[in-house]
């Protein structure tokens, strides 16, 4: 919306004395026939409001005809005037739910006098914190139409709509206030861009008008300072663009622009003139105010809050174009994730014949929030080492808000919901490794969550991929929205459960009973700190494997121009992985079963046995042939 803007935690009136710096409000009540009669409600007795000021001041005894009072300087004439009012509604927060499902379908109604505008055709379904981004324009006449009423309504398909709450703004007091809230003062004077000056008058014109209304001479612009009456305002160097200050020779237009920056600096400190001008007060800065929404049914209890501001321009001055505060449209992306391999995956199954652990590995992936678009690889059966080969592509499309760094999606909250609600949450890619079971439920092994705009950089190889990469704020970091592409290894972890602790204790006890050490496999050879860690909350996480993945982020336009297929399909198909063909059926493939199950476990014994057999055979041949050779030598002797 703006580069710099002040956010007021309440309504603007609370910070500026209800804008009654000179125009005060006095309620007018209907009189009562008897003091002892029934007390009527104060609101019922209210007949109107008187706006004005009562001033009591001494007259110089030497000059009784001098009735001029400086405090009345700058007070405008009480003549009818038409004003263009722009109401900017940014969003509402913490609205009171009005529907049985604990939600609301809010829309806006803006009224001033007999004019009424609404957004009923653009109501936002099932939201208590809706972002409206609406601008309303009304033309009002002072002193006839002085109050602006902004109401938040709840849309109902059946029956009348319900009022959630409303807020009221006294436009007349704002328009005539010396604080000049009619168009708030920007922090910078920009002639173009998204933060362009949005007042109908330039800073120098506003400053000259203030001087004129207070009956003093126009400001005097000097080098790095401005003189107003007897006060010298020093202009800081950062108040003027550096490019203008460094120029030795400036054009008349550039000199005029420097004056505008200097005038704005004075306006931002106008309250300092109070020592010379009694009517000088601080001017309202560019802002967003948070106004409470109230309801007569629940007096004094806010029904939510409205983030908004109001601009007003007299009809005799050309108004600048309105500020565009429409909610930012999300950018559409396609994330392509290729699962190449896994390594060191925890072996969750045990072969009943050989006792050798194995696992049937597959990988799931999805963007958080888009749970209905989960994708998974095929299964790498009978992995004996935790290695899995896939060459499988996931393709995810999502809508993303770069400023908020959130994914936007719509879904129905329940089966009975008539409309989908909008949700936002951080863009997180979830990858999980599972063990496939033919009969029982599949077993979850481990996962990694990668926040797309701020994730840990991948390792170049499996050996360099450690459990430390799964810790919070592990470094180095990178964003896929900047890098666009990344390939490497990430760890897969799982929170340690009570079953894990029990299994560890059981393994230790069995090892003690058998009087031998724990079986030395690749996992047991690792140090304890290499396979588990404890986070700040005290939870322990285990390393359950590693996954090699390639991430590529493209815009929707790029994706449609160069499409790719899911899994290994066209276009841009992936090759089938070269997986070892292993079967546990002795009768179908006994040789491969021997190689992968018996050879790996008893390799040393088999080699020793073969060598021993060769030596025995050699000695047997020697013993068998030795007598014949001796007899032949003796006979021939």
Q: Which pLDDT score is estimated for 244?
A: 86
Q: What percentage of the chain exceeds 70 in pLDDT?
A: 89
Give the DSSP letter string of 46-93. EEEEEEE--------TT-TT----GGGTTPPP---EEEEEEEEEEEEE
Partnered with residue 310 across adjacent β-strands are 87
CA distance 51 to 325: 34
Residue 597 has pLDDT above 90, yes or no: no
Rg (CA), the chain: 40
Could you tell me the two tokens for 501?
A: 């602790």
* Rounded Cα–Cα distance for residues 625 and 385 (Å): 49
| Mean pLDDT score, 394-402 | 96
Give the residue among 467, 470, 430 at the shortest CA–CA distance from 449: 430
User: Which range (5-14, 20-29, 305-314, 466-475) has the least confidence?
Assistant: 20-29
Q: Is the pLDDT of residue 599 over 70?
A: no
Question: 264 or 418: which carries more pLDDT confidence?
Answer: 264
User: Cβ distance 287 to 309 under 8 Å?
Assistant: yes
Do 179 and 234 meet the contact criterion of CB atoms below 8 Å apart?
Answer: no
Alpha carbon distances (Å) from 502 to 378, 496, 499, 507:
32, 11, 5, 9
* 286: its two tokens: 């560019």
Cα 335 versus chain centre, distance: 19
What whole-number distance in Å separates Cα of residue 380 and Cα of residue 578? 11
Compute the CA torsion angle 53, 54, 57, 61 (nearest 10 deg): 120
- With vertex at residue 561, the alpha carbon angle to CA 560 and CA 563, rounded to the nearest 5 degrees, is 60
d(CA 19, CA 580): 81
Please give the Cα distance from 370 to 427 (Å, whole number): 10
Q: What is the DSSP letter of 137?
A: E
Q: How many CB atoms lie within 10 A of CB 564?
A: 18
- Cα 461 vs. chain centroid, distance in angstroms? 32
Residue 54: its pLDDT value, please?
76
pLDDT higher than 50, residue 494: yes
Nearest to 330 by CA among 436, 401, 412: 401
pLDDT at 121 over 90: yes
The pLDDT score that the predictor gives to residue 1 is 43
pLDDT tens-digit readout, 305-332? 999 999 999 998 899 999 999 998 999 9
Task: Specify the higher pLDDT residue, 534 or 73.
Answer: 534
Residues in contact with 554: Cβ distance below 8 Å, sequence separation at least 6, in sequence order: 333, 334, 336, 484, 562
Distance of CA 261 to the CA centre of its chain: 35
End-to-end CA distance of the chain, in Å?
117
Q: Are 124 and 106 in contact (CB under 8 A)?
A: yes
Task: Name residue, tokens 């500020």.
Answer: 323
Q: Could you tell me which of 88, 285, 317 has the C-alpha nearest to residue 183? A: 285
Give phi and psi for 51, each to the nearest 5.
Answer: -110, 125
Residue 585 above 50 pLDDT? no
Going from the C-alpha of 578 to that of each of 17, 398, 444, 488, the distances in angstroms are 78, 33, 25, 19
Distance CA 637, CA 618 (A): 27
Q: Mean of the pLDDT values across residues 168-174?
A: 94
Q: Do the beta carbons of residue 580 and residue 393 sit within 8 Å?
A: no
Q: Tell me if 542 sits within 8 A of 494, measured CB to CB.
A: yes
How confident is the model at residue 29, as a pLDDT?
86
Q: Which residues, at least 6 apart from 516, have a Cβ–Cβ distance to it below 8 Å?
A: none
Cβ distance 303 to 294 under 8 Å? yes
Least confident of 74-78, 219-223, 288-292, 448-452: 74-78
Of residues 22 and 304, more confidence is placed in 304
pLDDT at 412 over 50: yes
Q: Is 585 exposed, middle or buried (0-12, 13-18, 19+ CB in 10 A)?
A: exposed
b/e sequence 191-214, b meaning 16+ C-beta within 10 Å: eeeebebbbbebbbebbeebbeeb
Sign of CA dihedral 222, 225, 226, 228: negative
Position 66 scores a pLDDT of 58
pLDDT mean over 391-401: 97
Query: What is the homologous superfamily of the domain 6-59+81-314 according to CATH?
Result: C2 domain (2.60.40.150)
DSSP calls for 322-387: PP--PPPPPEEEEEEEEEEEEES----EE-TTT--EEEEEEEEEEETT-GGG-EE---EEEESSS-
Answer yes or no: is pLDDT of 115 > 80. Answer: yes
Q: What is the pTM of this model?
A: 0.77
CATH of domain 331-510+524-561: 2.60.40.150
Cis preceding-peptide flag for 571 (omega within 30 of 0): yes
In the DSSP assignment, the letter for residue 303 is: -
Check pLDDT > 90 for residue 570: yes
The pLDDT of residue 505 is 81
Lowest-confidence segment of 18-32, 284-298, 483-497, 578-592 by average pLDDT = 578-592
Average pLDDT over residues 121-131: 93
Evaluate whether 398 touches 409 at the Cβ level (below 8 Å). yes
Tell me which residue of 200, 179, 381 sits closest to 285, measured CA to CA. Answer: 179
The pLDDT value recorded for residue 587 is: 46
What is the Cα–Cα distance from 88 to 286, expressed in whole angstroms? 13
For position 592, what pLDDT does the model report? 55
pLDDT at residue number 517: 52
CA distance 474 to 533: 13
pLDDT (tens digit, 9 = 90+) per residue, 205-227? 999 999 998 889 999 999 899 99
User: In Å, how far from its chain's centre is CA 303?
Assistant: 25
Given a cut of 80, whether residue 41 has pLDDT beyond it is no
Q: Which residue has the tokens 């990344």?
A: 486
How buried is 133 (Cβ within 10 angstroms: 0-12 exposed, 13-18 middle, 19+ buried)? middle
Residue 3, pLDDT above cutoff 60? no
Instruction: Please tell me the predicted confidence (pLDDT) of residue 598.
Output: 65
Maximal C-alpha separation, the chain? 169
Confidence of residue 582 (pLDDT cuts 50, 70, 90): low
CB-based burial, 144-181: b 16+ in 10 Å, e otherwise: ebbebebbbbbbeeeeebebbbbbebbbbbbbbbbbbb
| Number of neighbours of residue 112 by Cβ within 10 angstroms | 23
Q: Spell out the domain ranges in the chain.
A: 6-59+81-314, 331-510+524-561, 590-636
- Rounded mean pLDDT of the chain? 88
Between CA 441 and CA 352 the distance in angstroms is: 19
Q: What is the mean pLDDT of residues 110-125?
A: 95
Taking the mean position of all CA atoms in its chain, how far away is CA 378?
A: 34
Q: Distance (Å, rounded) from C-alpha 25 to C-alpha 172?
A: 11
Task: Quote the pLDDT of residue 248.
Answer: 82
The kind and range of the H/E element at 28 are strand 24-29
State the pLDDT confidence band at 294, using cuts at 50, 70 and 90: very high
pLDDT of residue 38: 53
Could you tell me the pLDDT band of residue 586, with boundaries at 50, 70 and 90? very low
Helix (H, G, I), strand (E, B) or coil at 626: helix
């Amino acid at each position: 919306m703006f580069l710099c803007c002040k956010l007021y935690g309440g309504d603007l009136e609370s910070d500026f004395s209800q804008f009654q710096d000179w125009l005060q409000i006095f309620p007018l009540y209907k009189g009562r026939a008897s003091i002892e009669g029934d007390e009527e409600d104060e609101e019922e007795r209210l007949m109107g409001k008187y706006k004005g000021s009562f001033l009591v001041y001494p007259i110089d005894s030497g000059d009784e005809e001098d009735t001029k009072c400086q405090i009345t300087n700058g007070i405008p004439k009480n003549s009818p005037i038409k004003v263009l009012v722009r109401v900017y509604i940014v969003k509402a927060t913490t609205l009171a739910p009005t529907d049985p499902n604990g939600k609301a379908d809010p829309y806006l109604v803006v009224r001033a006098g007999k004019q009424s505008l609404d957004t009923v055709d653009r109501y936002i379904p099932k939201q208590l914190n809706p972002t409206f981004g609406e601008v309303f324009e009304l033309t009002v006449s002072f002193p006839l139409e002085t109050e602006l009423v902004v109401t938040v309504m709840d849309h109902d398909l059946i029956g009348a709509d319900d009022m959630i709450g409303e807020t009221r703004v006294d436009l007349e007091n704002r328009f005539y206030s010396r604080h000049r809230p009619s168009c708030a003062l920007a922090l910078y004077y920009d002639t173009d861009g998204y933060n362009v000056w949005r007042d109908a008058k330039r800073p120098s014109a506003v400053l000259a008008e203030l001087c004129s209304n207070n009956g003093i001479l126009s400001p005097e612009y000097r080098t790095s300072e401005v003189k107003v009456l007897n006060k010298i305002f020093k202009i800081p160097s950062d108040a003027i663009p550096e490019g203008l200050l460094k120029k030795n020779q400036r054009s008349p237009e550039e000199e005029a622009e420097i004056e505008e920056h200097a005038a704005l600096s004075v306006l931002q400190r106008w309250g300092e003139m109070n020592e010379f001008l009694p009517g000088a007060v601080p001017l309202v800065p560019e802002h967003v105010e948070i106004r409470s929404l109230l309801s007569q049914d629940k007096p004094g209890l806010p029904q939510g809050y409205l983030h908004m501001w109001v601009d007003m321009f007299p009809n005799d001055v050309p108004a600048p174009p309105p500020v565009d505060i429409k909610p930012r449209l999300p950018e559409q992306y396609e994330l392509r994730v290729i699962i190449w391999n896994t390594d060191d995956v925890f072996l969750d199954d045990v072969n009943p014949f050989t006792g050798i652990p194995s696992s049937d590995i597959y990988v799931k992936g999805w963007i958080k929030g888009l749970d209905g678009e989960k994708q998974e690889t095929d299964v790498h059966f009978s992995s004996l080492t935790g290695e899995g080969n896939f060459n499988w592509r996931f393709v995810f499309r999502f809508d993303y808000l770069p400023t908020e760094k959130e994914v936007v999606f719509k879904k129905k909250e329940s089966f009975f919901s008539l409309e989908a609600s909008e949700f936002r949450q951080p863009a997180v890619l979830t990858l999980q490794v599972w063990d496939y079971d033919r009969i029982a439920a599949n077993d979850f092994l481990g996962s990694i969550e990668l926040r797309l705009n701020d994730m840990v950089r991948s390792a170049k190889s499996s050996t360099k991929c450690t459990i430390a990469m799964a810790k919070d704020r592990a470094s180095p970091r990178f964003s896929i929205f900047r890098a666009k592409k990344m390939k490497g290894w990430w760890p897969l972890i799982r929170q340690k459960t009570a079953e894990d602790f029990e299994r560890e204790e059981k393994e230790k006890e069995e090892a003690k009973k058998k009087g031998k050490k724990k079986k030395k496999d690749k996992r047991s050879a690792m140090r304890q700190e290499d396979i588990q860690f404890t986070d700040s909350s005290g939870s322990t996480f285990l390393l359950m494997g590693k996954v090699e993945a390639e991430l590529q982020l493209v815009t929707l336009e790029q994706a449609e121009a160069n499409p790719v297929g899911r899994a290994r399909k066209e276009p841009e198909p992936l090759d089938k992985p070269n997986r070892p063909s292993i079967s546990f059926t002795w009768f179908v493939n006994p040789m491969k079963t021997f190689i992968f199950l018996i050879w790996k476990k008893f390799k040393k014994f088999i080699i020793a046995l073969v060598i021993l057999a060769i030596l025995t055979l050699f000695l047997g041949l020697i013993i068998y042939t030795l007598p014949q050779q001796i007899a032949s030598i003796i006979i021939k002797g």
